[in-house]
């Protein structure tokens, strides 16, 4: 990945001494507390940095699984993006390190759990609740777009709640950088229910795919199902491409208008696809009750506040995982060639502002 050098202003002397090398942080610097989730590449654990009260979520990936599933580029992109972003509604990485067999990303812990879990239990949310969630998500997506990045995997499983109830986008494994045109990206990727038509048509795609996914998500949060859902995958793809969008009559006209604007099949005409990106959404009547500056500053109180017993409480995560012992399993690295062992050069990272604790 290219390194961006920032030059100091001319004729100025730095007033601090920057150490030539940051202190190394590794697995031995953390206490493993609980398992939060597991997937095909590894798992996520709740951890505490030793000799501190700082709690984090540690994402552990097995190099062998990442390489076998051709996810090296996606993994490198995810860490490169996480090193750059600082936004209230996007997850934050504090450390990254590796050993022979695994990759470790240390992220902010969001104790409210997945939005998916809440939606599954409650079936659907109130309009007021969806209004704030979608405004926060839109600001996160808009920030990525301002950096010429696209997210490409918006779904309830990738939205976590903080201790107050604000949402945060996690998992940038399908994100892409340097997206400057409407058809800059070519990869067929995402989650079926939320795929934009242009991804299915394989004609190239850009930032507008995220606004389509947001329209799909808003519809799902308000009704309980995505708008073109079908158990038959091919039938669902066909519906995404051709079926009439039918909004329930119980949805107010401003809600329907927003969903219809976001689910325009032509990405050039889709709400948010213009040069002002998220500003188009901010002007939608649905968002009139909100001041987006206040949304950014988290000055609105979410309707739902997660029930959290303490800073290490994991009650909002699946007990299938949280009941497991939190251990870093030993793996056989003999199958990894020297090339593969060095595949992730430059992965290591330390955010020095962690010295003040998680923000």
Q: Which residues are catalytic?
A: 153
Does residue 278 contact residue 211 with C-beta atoms inside 8 Å? Answer: no
The Cα 283–Cα 269 span in angstroms is: 16
The tokens for 29 are: 């610097």
The Cα 228–Cα 271 span in angstroms is: 19
Q: Which residues pair with 168 in a beta bridge?
A: 160
The Cα 8–Cα 13 span in angstroms is: 9
Does residue 14 contact residue 8 with C-beta atoms inside 8 Å? Answer: yes
Does residue 350 contact residue 100 with C-beta atoms inside 8 Å? Answer: no
State residue 74 phi and psi, 5-degree precision: -60, -40
């Amino acid at each position: 990945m290219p390194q961006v050098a920032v030059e100091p202003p001319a004729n100025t002397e730095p007033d601090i001494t920057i150490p030539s090398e940051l202190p190394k942080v590794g697995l031995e610097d953390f206490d493993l507390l609980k398992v939060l989730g597991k997937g095909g590449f590894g798992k996520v654990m709740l951890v505490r940095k030793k000799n501190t009260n700082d709690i984090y979520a540690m994402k552990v990936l097995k190099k062998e699984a990442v390489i076998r599933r051709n996810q090296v580029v996606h993994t490198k992109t995810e860490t490169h993006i996480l090193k750059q972003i600082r936004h209230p509604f996007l997850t934050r990485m504090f450390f990254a390190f590796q050993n022979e067999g695994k990759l470790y990303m240390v992220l902010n812990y969001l104790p409210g759990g997945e939005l998916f879990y809440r939606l599954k239990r409650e079936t659907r949310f109130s309009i007021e609740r969806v209004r704030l969630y979608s405004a926060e998500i839109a600001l996160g997506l808009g920030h990525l777009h301002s950096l010429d990045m696209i997210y490409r995997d918006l779904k309830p499983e990738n939205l976590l709640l903080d201790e107050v109830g604000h949402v945060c986008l996690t998992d940038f494994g399908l994100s892409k950088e340097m997206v400057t045109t409407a058809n800059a990206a070519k990869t067929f990727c995402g989650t079926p229910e939320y795929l934009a038509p242009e991804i299915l048509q394989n004609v190239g795609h850009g930032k507008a795919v995220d606004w389509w996914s947001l329209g799909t998500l808003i519809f799902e949060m308000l009704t309980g199902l995505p708008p073109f859902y079908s158990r038959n995958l091919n039938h669902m793809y066909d519906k995404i491409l051709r079926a009439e969008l039918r909004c329930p009559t119980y949805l107010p006209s401003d809600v329907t208008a927003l969903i219809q604007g976001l689910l325009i099949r032509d990405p050039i005409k889709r709400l948010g696809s213009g040069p002002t990106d998220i500003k188009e959404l901010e002007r939608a009547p649905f968002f009139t009750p909100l001041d987006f500056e206040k949304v950014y500053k988290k000055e609105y109180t979410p309707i739902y506040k997660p029930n959290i017993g303490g800073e290490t409480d994991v009650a909002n995560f699946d007990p299938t995982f949280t009941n497991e012992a939190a251990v870093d399993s030993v793996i056989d690295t003999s199958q990894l060639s020297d090339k593969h062992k060095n595949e992730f050069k430059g992965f290591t990272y330390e955010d020095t502002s962690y010295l003040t604790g998680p923000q």
